[in-house]
Amino acid sequence: MLRDLTLPSSLAPPEDSSMWRPDFLFGAATAAYQIEGAAAEDGRLASIWDIFSRTPGKVLNGDTGDHACDHYRRWAEDLELVAGLGLGGYRLSIAWPRVMDEAGRPNTKGLDFYKRLLDRLQQQGLQAFVTLYHWDLPQHLQDRGGWLNRDTVQRFADYADVVSRELAGRVNAWTTLNEPWCSAFLGYGNGHHAPGLKSVRYAVDAMHHLLLAHGEAVRVLRGNDRAPVGIVSNVNAVKPDSERPEDLHAARLAEACANHWVLDPLLLGHYPEALRELWPGIEPAVRPGDLALISTPLDYLGINYYFRANVGSDGAHGYVERSQPNVERTQMGWEVYPEGLRDLLVGFKRRYPGLPPIYITENGMASDDRVVDGRVDDPQRIDYLRRHFAAVDEAMRQGVEVKGYFVWSLLDNFEWAYGYERRFGIVHVDYRTQQRTLKDSALALREFLAQRRSRA
């Protein structure tokens, strides 16, 4: 429902910002497992998240993505929300288990769903940023080792081939992987995410195979379609707990793990040396040609940013996170620190010669949002977005090429191990009725984008 409202505050960037220009892309982002539901319909296979979320104790309140936001049926309504807000782009992911069977053959019904969705985006003049892998690995591949099995690299290339042949011409930008750090470390290192394994050795192996799969997919996608190809990496700002040498060193190790573990092999062609100190004796099984494949040049780099971590020495060769008092936090408990996004972007420009153009592919916050008299008042989110827009603007003024920004997320959704309790959307979802309600943040964003159009 679109309605008029005296907005509590503006989230617009500075008046002279390049983000006011029509060629700067604003969009909203989602992920298949988090919104689609229809977990067993039209030939969709089980994913690792189906199995993980149904395992007692793994997800808050025992929630699953079986129904989620029912986007599989309500996709047209949801795309109307995107268009109605005046956004220029929509970032979505393909559910691997929905589009292929166990033998690797295409599932026509699943592919047709995405064709209809992408065709509608084209009709609405919206750019489609399509992610191949947003964590929903088919369970039958996990049963054979998942990302610990180098054969999964080839299975991902096969998947990329099928999808890009079927969807060629409908996609404005391809993303191979979303946040390989989360897939590797949270999924295989500490067990917080599917498939729930807990071994640093596993995390290191999984990361290498994920990055190899990215490299293979880049070649496949470029062979089948003309749309630019990139990858999305989550990054964290890191603050040392004190100026003591051991805490400063711990912060460098934390940054190597959080940021450089993914970006160094992609952009420099090698893994960061600091990981050898952090995890002595544990290294990826690199074969000749692996790093050249992983570092295949990108057309763009997606950056997901949410918070800053405060870390100190663990007294050995690692680091630990330490609580920092008297800072603003979100419902997730994450510190709100917009300056970290600016500093990371500027630092990446220095660290990585030839840094490709950047899109902020996720940025947003969770809050305990309620509908009261038809309204969702979320002033912290409006302020959060405004301050992060300003941080992006500051990075651009320092020479970082940022071409767009996608708010996370369009809809409240299944927030992985936190289930449905944490609400990241600019659109509120009543999970019982599936009613969508624009939050004040969505209305503020709509107002800014209308002002931008009026200037064009």
Query: What is the distance between the alpha carbons of residues 347 and 237, in angstroms, rounded to a whole number?
Result: 11
pLDDT at 403 over 90: yes
| The one catalytic residue among 179, 216, 394, 447 | 179
Strand partners, 302: 232, 359
Torsion of CA 379, 381, 385, 390, to 10 degrees: 50
d(CA 88, CA 128) in angstroms, rounded, equals 9
In a domain, residue 8? The reply is no
Q: Is 3 a domain residue?
A: no
How many H helices and E strands in the chain? 16, 11
Tokens at 390, concatenated: 């300003």
Is 442 within 8 Å of 85 (Cβ atoms)?
yes
Q: What single-letter amino acid sits at 205?
A: D
- Please say if the pLDDT value at position 91 is more than 70: yes
Interacting residues of 300 by C-beta distance below 8 A, sequence separation 6+: 173, 228, 230, 356, 357, 358, 359, 403
For 367-392, what is each residue's pLDDT tens digit? Answer: 999 999 999 999 999 999 999 999 99
pLDDT (tens digit per residue) in 200-234 = 999 999 999 999 999 999 999 999 999 999 999 99
For residue 395, what pLDDT band results from cuts at 50, 70 and 90?
A: very high
Q: What is the dihedral of CA 283, 287, 288, 291, to 10 degrees?
A: -60
| Kind of pairing between the strands at 173-178 and 436-438 | unpaired
At 2 the pLDDT is: 39
Contact between 184 and 194 under an 8 Å Cβ cutoff? The reply is: no
Check if 447 is active-site.
Answer: no
Domains contained in the chain, number = 1
In a domain, 373, yes or no: yes
The answer to whether 175 and 230 are in contact (CB under 8 A) is: yes
Q: 340-367 pLDDT, tens per residue?
A: 999 999 999 999 999 999 999 999 999 9
Range of the domain at 285: 18-455
Residue 49 counted as an annotated binding residue: no
Give dist(CA 149, CA 159) in Å, integer. Answer: 16
- CA dist., res. 16 & res. 37, Å (int): 42
Active-site annotation holder among 216, 255, 335, 362:
362
Average pLDDT over residues 93-110: 98
What average pLDDT does range 1-17 have in this prediction? 68
Residue 89 buriedness (CB in 10 A; 0-12 / 13-18 / 19+):
buried
* 412-440 pLDDT, tens digit each: 999 999 999 999 999 999 999 999 999 99
* pLDDT, the chain, mean: 97
Residue 445 tokens read as: 């964003």
Closest CA to 342 of 363, 326, 370, 328: 363
Tell me how many degrees the CA angle 394-397-398 measures, rounded to the nearest 5: 95
Cβ burial of 354 (10 Å; 0-12, 13-18, 19+) is exposed
Give the separation between CA 92 and CA 402, rounded to whole angstroms: 20
Residue 24 has pLDDT above 50, yes or no: yes
In angstroms, the CA 161 to CA 16 distance is: 43
Q: What confidence tier does 1 reach under pLDDT thresholds 50, 70, 90?
A: very low
Q: Which residues pair with 229 in a beta bridge?
A: 174
Contact 192, 186 (CB under 8 A): yes
Residue 10: pLDDT band with limits 50, 70, 90? confident
| Partners of 329 in beta bridges | 335
For residue 41, what pLDDT band results from cuts at 50, 70 and 90?
A: very high
How far apart CA 423 and CA 318 sit, in angstroms, is: 33
Average pLDDT over residues 75-85: 98
How many whole angstroms separate alpha carbon 194 and alpha carbon 110? 23
pLDDT for the residue 154: 98
Q: Per the omega criterion (within 30 degrees of 0), is the bond before 233 cis?
A: no
Q: So what's the pLDDT on residue 121?
A: 98
Is position 185 within any domain? yes
| Residue pair 320/240 in contact by the 8 Å Cβ criterion | no
Phi, psi (rounded to 5 degrees) for 17: -75, 145
Classify residue 146: in a domain, yes or no: yes
Residue 212 lies in a domain: yes
Is 96 assigned a ligand-binding role in the annotation?
no
Could you tell me if residue 4 is inside a domain? Answer: no
Supply the CATH number for residue 376's domain: 3.20.20.80
Binding residue per annotation — 249?
A: no
Q: What is the pLDDT of residues 121-177, one digit of tens each?
A: 999 999 999 999 999 999 999 999 999 999 999 999 999 999 999 999 999 999 999
CA distances 317 to 54, 247, 272, 274, 377, Å, are 36, 11, 15, 10, 45
Q: What is the pTM of this model?
A: 0.97
Distance CA 420, CA 431 (A): 8
The pLDDT tens digits for 284-326 are 999 999 999 999 999 999 999 999 999 999 999 899 999 999 9
Ligand-binding annotation for 408, yes or no, is yes
61 in Cβ contact with 420 (< 8 Å): yes
How far apart are alpha carbons 29 and 13 in whole angstroms? 20
pLDDT score at 456? 82
pLDDT of amino acid 317: 85
179 carries an active-site annotation = yes
Q: What SS3 class is residue 401?
A: coil
Amino acid 372: pLDDT: 98
- Domain assignment present for residue 11? The answer is no
Has 142 been labeled as part of a binding site?
no
- Residues of the chain with pLDDT > 90, as a percent, come to 97
DSSP 329: B
